[in-house]
Amino acid sequence: MSDLDYIFSPQTVAVIGASTTPGKVGHDIFLNILRGGYTGTLYPVNPNARSVLSVRAYPSITEIPDEVELAIIILPPALALESVGKSVANGVKGIVIVSAGFKEVGGEGVEIEKEIVSICREAGVRLVGPNCLGVINPLPSVRLNASFSPRMPAPGKISFISQSGALCTSVLDFAADRDFGFSKFISIGNKADVDELDLLQYLHEDIDTEVIMIYLEELRRGPEFIEAVKEITSGRRRTPVLVIKSGRTSAGARAAASHTGALAGSEAVYDSIFEQSGIIRANSINELFDYASAFTYKTTTALGKISRKLPVGNRVAIVTNAGGPGIVATDMTISSGLELAQFQPQTVGQLAQHLPSTANLHNPVDVIGDATHDRYEHALAAVLKDEGVDGALVILTPQSMTDALGIAKAIVRVARGSRKPILCSFMGVVDVSEGVEYLQEHGYPVFRFPEDAAKAFGALYQHSRWLNREELKPFKLDHDKKLAKKIVQEAMDAGKTYVGELGGLDLLKCYGFKVLPTELAKTSREAGDIAERIGFPVVLKIVSEQIVHKSDAGGVLVKLRDRGEVTEGFKKIVDSAREYDSEAVIEGVLVQKMAPKGEEVIFGMNRYPIFGPLLMFGMGGIFVEVFQDVKFSLAPVGREEAVRMIHGIKGFKLLNGFRGRPKADIHTLEKLLVSLSDMAVNHPEIMEMDLNPLLVHPEGEGATVADCRIILKEALGGAADRKSTAQNL
Ligand code: ADP
Ligand code: MG
């Protein structure tokens, strides 16, 4: 038995702060438990009343002549603290504090909350809240509605965790309208003790929960969360986790001196956490429910085992009796990461046999407005048999001759013989209701609009792909960690806040990055000498701590072919840099060998307070700024994550040999991303990195760093106290 069972399925409950005044939270919660038909024993605690709602009241929990398992406390902070102490002393096994006025208001509230947590922890008692709506367990064996929602939802297989109390009531209302049943429903409030991860783990073990939905505002755990949830979504017993996250930013992206920093808003962090842990993100409450209903859709296998109906691939067949909705569904199918299936000739032949000549025999199959159940049945059976089809969307618009119930029955008949998922959209409310009810009774998800069904199919496919993801053999990487540590330490000791391109290249070399011969010139003559030594063509770059984006200052010249061009170029870029920023301290000019041709990509890293290093990959150069075509992942990034990041950008097609372009060395990119992650993990002093561009060459030819910027943690005392060590030219 889990300690959270005492919160969700207690035998005895005391409501401390139960009130006789209707409209007060202490009254309403007591009323809701009573009216909800709680199967255990309920005690009101109120020192000033003989009874609450005709139930004999006790002045204190210590007076209750029974063992109390769960105490629900609705009292102001100071009194709540006192009754937590009493409850724990009295052997209570779980506590829910509904009242507000704790950490969220600051001041004394913070201290009281801390004290309450330490009392609970010491006694091994779990605490939900404070500042929450409560908990609900509608299962017939418990029927506990310890919340201020008067509505007890129907029992079901979905559990809901909410960080917002207010949202819970609307979700319950919405659920009632859509005939949704819940297994557990909980509002976590301030998460003083029990947080979303505790609950995810508990609900994952709960046999009554098949799908978990979360409304999330912020996470307090990063890498640990990913590890645990990965196991929940794809381990031994797989529980799909659906999340809706409010747009509130709280992870706090630092004021950014790098592209990575600027692009990595906290939303991007959350998106990568969800992707890395296999959580499916919904964009609205409506979508959340749509996805949940798709995930409770099950099939009985030949061996009698019940399993979730998931598509093995992304090729969808659409069967509709109206053209317009078919097109809408097609559009959404494509934008949900799915494809419209191409039928085999024999499928088209079968469709031709059973459909009128005006019907569209290709995807989306239009069975025409006057279709009756037999046309749907034949068409659906034919497309599902096609090996090139992984599932179907069935769309019905009510026409005068449409028999929604008959068609629903036909769908269920066809579905029984197939393992491929069928998601239906019966458009309308009144005319189609009999059909919708029939499908729902038989466990088939029905969506109001075809685009909702298509999106839900996309979510099922996302989950299926996650479950079937490939495990790759880790790279064997041999880094020169010792030298790297020395380089970083020297920069820190010198009071530097960033490692320039020159030092950065040495550091990157330790992690297997290919870099170009690069030297610093102080005069045009020196530049000419260096260029002759390293060989033409070369690139010149201005070196100044104040000039972050060198090109903006006219500080980069490429393809210089001889000594004359180099010496002239030297003067030119120093002049334009001075013009750009007259205050800038110019240390000199880098002379760098021109890199061989390649596609420009960006590698980046940005460190977050709770989550740690966040890595970024995307198309580089100007594409970063214009298209922001990038993907993130929290470190440590292994080979699978690297693959996901690289394959996840829109520009991947360009790298993968688009229209006659050579295929880029993607394998090297994977390896280098893992190396960058190692670098971020090994050197906590590095706050941000930008490699932009990293030039990736054709397959087998590797990648070359053409620009890098590494920002260090400010040493004690901060940068402001330190004199720049840079010498002006
Ligand atoms: P910044 O990003 O500060 O403006 P970069 O060092 O990235 O300056 O140089 C600007 C552009 O010049 C790069 O995006 C790349 O296209 C090109 N470039 C820079 N260094 C090289 C090099 N060594 N070989 C080839 N192209 C280069
Ligand atoms: Mg650059």
Integer Cα distance of 169 and 132 in angstroms: 12
Q: Could you say which DSSP state residue 515 is in? A: -
CA distance 408 to 391: 17
CA 444/CA 620 separation, integer angstroms: 46
In this predicted structure, the answer to whether residue 264 has a pLDDT above a threshold of 90 is: no
| Atom of ligand 1 at shortest range from CA of 594 | 24
Task: Measure 276 CA to ligand 1 centroid, in angstroms.
Answer: 32
pLDDT at 62 over 60: yes
Cβ atoms of residues 215 and 199 within 8 Å: no
The rounded distance, in Å, linking the Cα atoms of 329 and 602 is 36
The answer to whether 301 and 324 have CB atoms below 8 angstroms apart is no
Determine the distance separating the centroid of ligand 1 and the alpha carbon of 546, expressed in angstroms.
18
CA of 691 to the centre of ligand 2 (A): 7
Residue 86: the pLDDT is 97
What is the reported pTM?
Answer: 0.89
Q: Is 548 in the pocket of ligand 1 (CB under 6 A)?
A: no
Residues 26, 19: Cα–Cα separation, whole Å: 5
Closest ligand 1 atom to the C-alpha of 620?
14
Q: How confident is the model at residue 255 (pLDDT cuts 50, 70, 90)?
A: very low
Q: How far is CA 566 from CA 273, 590, 596, in A?
A: 47, 11, 19
For residue 724, the model assigns a pLDDT of 57
Phi, psi of 89 (to 5 degrees): -60, -30
What's the CA-to-centroid distance between 561 and ligand 1, angstroms?
16
Q: Which of 208, 188, 212 is nearest to 200 (CA)?
A: 212
Instruction: Name which residue sits closest to atom 14 of ligand 1, judged by CA.
Output: 621
pLDDT at 717 over 60: no
Best substitution site from 518, 539, 581, 692 to test ligand 1's pocket, by max atoms within 8 Å of Cβ?
Answer: 539
CB atoms within 10 A of CB 477: 12
Rounded average pLDDT over 416-440: 90
Nearest residue (by CA) to ligand 1, atom 7, is: 707
CA–CA gap between residue 316 and residue 20 (Å, rounded): 58
CA distance 123 to 94: 10
Confidence at residue 257, expressed as pLDDT on a 0 to 100 scale: 53
Helix (H) or strand (E) segment spanning residue 69: none
| pLDDT digit string, tens, across residues 432-456 | 899 999 998 888 999 999 999 999 9
User: Which residues, 6+ apart, have CB-to-CB distance to 63 below 8 Å?
Assistant: none
Name the closest-CA residue to atom 5, ligand 1: 707
Q: CA-to-CA distance for 450 and 394, rounded, in angstroms?
A: 8
- Comparing CA positions, the residue from 683, 694, 711, 602 lying closest to residue 256 is 711
The dihedrals phi and psi of 520, each to the nearest 5 degrees, come to: -95, 130
User: Ligand 1, atom 23: nearest CA belongs to which residue?
Assistant: 594
Ligand 1: which residue has its CA nearest to atom 21?
Answer: 706
706 CA from centroid of ligand 2 (Å) = 7
Query: Left if phi > 0, otherwise alpha if psi is -120 to 50, otherwise beta: which for 100?
Result: beta
Look at 255-269, 397-411, 456-470, 651-665 and tell me which has the smallest mean pLDDT. 255-269
Can you tell me the distance from the alpha carbon of 148 to that of 162, in angstroms, rounded to the nearest whole number? 14
- Determine the average pLDDT of the residues in 226-255: 78
Q: Which residues fall inside 5 Å of ion ligand 2, going by CB?
A: 692, 707
pLDDT in tens, 462-507: 999 999 998 899 999 999 999 999 999 999 998 888 888 888 999 9
* 698 DSSP assignment: B
Map residue 93 onto helix, strand or coil.
Answer: coil
Q: For residues 101 and 401, which has the higher predicted lDDT (pLDDT)?
A: 101
CA 385 to chain centre: 35
Instruction: List pLDDT tens digits, range 513-533.
Output: 999 999 999 999 999 999 999
- Nearest to residue 325, comparing CAs of 413, 224, 449, 414? 449
| CA dist 94 → 146, 193, 352, 596 (Å) | 13, 11, 65, 66
Name the residue among 319, 434, 431, 448 with its Cα closest to residue 384: 319
Whose tokens are 């990195």? That residue is 689
- C-alpha distance from residue 131 to each of 96, 120, 147, 347 (Å): 10, 17, 12, 59
Rounded to an integer, what is the distance from CA 642 to the centroid of its chain?
17
Residue 567 pLDDT greater than 90, yes or no:
yes
Kindly report the number of other CB atoms within 10 A of residue 442's CB atom: 13
**What pLDDT is attached to residue 663?**
96
* Residue 548: pLDDT over 60: yes
Confidence tier at 301 by pLDDT (50, 70, 90): low
Position 502 scores a pLDDT of 87
Tell how far the Cα of 261 is from the centroid of ligand 2, in angstroms: 14
- Which pLDDT score is estimated for 250? 41
Residue 57 identity: A
Judged by average pLDDT, the poorest of 264-273, 379-388, 409-418, 499-508 is 264-273
Q: Whose CA is nearest to atom 6 of ligand 1?
A: 707
Rg of the chain (C-alpha set): 32
229 Cβ contact list (under 8 Å, min separation 6) = 197, 200, 241, 277, 278, 279
Distance CA 693, CA 625 (A): 12
For residue 538, give the ligand 1 atom closest to its CA. Answer: 23
Ligand 2 centroid–CA 548 distance in Å is: 9
Alpha helices for 148-265 (secondary structure H): 165-177, 196-205, 223-234, 259-263
Asked if residue 47 has a cis previous peptide bond (ω within 30° of 0), the answer is no
Q: Which atom of ligand 1 is nearest to the CA of 621?
A: 14
Rounded to the nearest whole angstrom, what is the distance from the C-alpha of residue 502 to the centroid of ligand 1?
14
